[in-house]
Amino acid sequence: MAEVTDIDIDRQRSVRLTFDDGFGCELPLDALRRACPCATCRSYRDRGEPAWPRPGQPATVTIEDAELVGAWGLSIRWSDGHSTGIYSWDALRQWCERSVGAALDDGDGGSPGGLVTDLPEAFEG
Q: Of residues 98 and 79, which shows the higher confidence score?
A: 79
> Is the separation of the CB atoms in 77 and 66 below 8 Å?
yes
Task: Classify residue 110: in a domain, yes or no.
Answer: no
- pLDDT of 33 over the 70 cut: yes
Q: Is residue 111 part of a domain?
A: no
In this structure, is residue 74 part of a structural domain? yes
The mean pLDDT of 88-111, rounded to a whole number, is 70
- The residues near 85 (Cβ < 8 Å, ≥ 6 apart) are 36, 37, 38, 41, 75, 76, 123
Q: Decide if 120 is inside a domain.
A: no
Domain that holds residue 42: 4-105
What pLDDT is recorded for position 110? 44
Identity of residue 125: G
119 assigned to some structural domain: no
Question: Does some domain include residue 85?
Answer: yes
Q: What is the 3-state secondary structure (H, E, C) of 53-113?
A: CCCCCCCCCCEEEEEEECCCEEEEEECCCCCCCEEEHHHHHHHHHHHHHHHHHCCCCCCCC
Domain count of the fold of the chain: 1
Residue 78 inside a domain? The answer is: yes
Tell me how far apart the alpha carbons of residues 103 and 6 are, in angstroms, rounded to a whole number. 23
For residue range 41-81, list pLDDT tens digits in order.
Answer: 999 999 999 999 998 889 999 999 999 998 899 999 999 99
Whole-structure pTM value: 0.80
Residue 113 has pLDDT above 70, yes or no: no
Question: Is 60 part of a structural domain of the chain?
Answer: yes
CATH (domain of 83): 3.30.2020.30
DSSP 8-state symbol, 115:
B
- Checking if the pLDDT of 86 tops 90, the result is yes
